Chains A and B, each alone.
Chain A
Amino acid sequence: MSNSQPIEVLFFASLCEQTGRDSATLDASLAATVADVWQQLCPTLDMPVNTLMAVNQINAKADSAVAGGDEVAFFPPVTGG
């Protein structure tokens, strides 16, 4: 993927309310990992414990690498039944 393309970021369900948005784009030069993406877009909000993360629809971790053109998505943890 070219670093000239931005990173596309999605926030799902209640994370939209917590972050105030459902999607964003981020200059790829500003983030090397999934955690960097969150930090850049939500600098005043700690990522909720056990937030699920995906890069290009594949399960990822906070230290997973990201690059320009990637889609990074954040999903809230769900435990209720």
Chain B
Amino acid sequence: MESPNTPYTLAIVNLSNQELLRYSRHTMLPQFGIKAQEKLKNARVLVLGAGGLGSPAALFLASAGVGTIVLADGDTVELSNLQRQVLHGESDISRAKVDSAADSLRAINSDIQVETINARLDGEALSTAAASADVVVDCSDNFATRFAVNAACVASRTPLVSAAAIRGEGQITVFDSRDAASPCYRCLYAEAEAGQENCSTQGVLAPLVGVMGSLQALEAVKILSGNAAAVGRLLLFDAWNTQWREIRLSRDPACPVCAPPTP
């Protein structure tokens, strides 16, 4: 008799019987199978921000079976976060967001590793964290962080799933520096002119961040499982009119971040 935790076929499958059952709705998908689930188990994803976008993104990455999730956020939970940041509850107010988030993720899936960084990552720490990740999910709330994350991902050729949401509008795209044709975030937005708007001054519709953050987890899971992601396509969502638009992105040959240096 095999115990419930005995690996199913030791030589081939790196998932326990419990994991095979847990992820059975993944592994029965023809685009997925057991191999893709194993890739998720062996993957390391850096989630920047444990707020509106980071909540659904991290929750779905955890439930989907991403083996190691690294969460970085320097904020503490406030009452005004609870309208949309579903990683956190009332009893978490004043706690570090990464601590509250880690508890929520471990409650959903105790098989995965959750690492926390109680800080807004920048500089060398950001570069190191991005380089050691298989995918970076940018759930930050400001241009400065987004530009820094982008530069770190371009330098380390780490795929970057980038989304944003404010008011009733959201956008998402994937930048993949492993692909020579992929644009980067800096191809899209001009750093020097960056304005500053955030949800605390502009407001944001609660389920909108659920839509956009869930899409980030979806794109990350597709990258990790070897499926095609939305590279070179910026999807824009108007929540009030329930309307999607899409624009094709191309690399800016003069981009100061991703264009090769001219001799």
Are A81 and B247 closer than 8 Å at their CB atoms?
Answer: no
Residues of A within 8 A of B234 (CB): 52, 59
A57 to B194, CA, bound (A): 23
Asked if A20 is an interface residue, CB under 8 A from chain B, the answer is: no
Q: A75 contacts which of B139, B194, B245 (Cβ < 8 Å)? A: B245
* A contact residues, total (Cβ < 8 Å): 20
Are B49 and A78 closer than 8 Å at their CB atoms?
Answer: no
Supposing A12-B245, A14-B168, A59-B234 touch, asked if A80 and B188 sit within 8 A by C-beta, the answer is no
A75 to B26, CA, bound (A): 36
Are B168 and A59 closer than 8 Å at their CB atoms?
Answer: no
A40 to B53, CA, bound (A): 37
A50 to B171, CA, bound (A): 14
B153 to chain A, nearest CB (A): 16
Q: Mark contacts of B189-221 with chain A using CB atoms, 8 A cut-off: 1 yes-contact digit, 0 otherwise.
A: 110011111110010100001000000000000
Residues of A within 8 A of B188 (CB): 52, 59
Are A12 and B142 closer than 8 Å at their CB atoms?
Answer: no
Binding site for B on A (CB under 8 A): 10, 12-14, 48-50, 52, 54, 57-59, 73, 75-81
Are A78 and B247 closer than 8 Å at their CB atoms?
Answer: no
B contact residues, range:
35 or more
Which residues in chain B, 114-173, are within 8 Å of chain A measured between CB atoms?
138-143, 146, 163-171
A31 to B168, CA, bound (A): 30
Are A81 and B52 closer than 8 Å at their CB atoms?
Answer: yes
Residues of B within 8 A of A77 (CB): 189, 195, 197
Are A58 and B168 closer than 8 Å at their CB atoms?
Answer: no
Q: A13 contacts which of B141, B168, B199 (Cβ < 8 Å)? A: B168
For B140, the closest partner residue in chain A by CB is A81
Asked if B58 is an interface residue, CB under 8 A from chain A, the answer is: no
A14 to B237, CA, bound (A): 11
Residues of B within 8 A of A52 (CB): 188, 234, 236, 247
Asked if B67 is an interface residue, CB under 8 A from chain A, the answer is: no
Residues of A within 8 A of B250 (CB): 58-59
Residues of A within 8 A of B196 (CB): 79
A79 to B197, CA, bound (A): 7
CB-based closest 3 A-B pairs? A80-B166, A13-B169, A81-B141
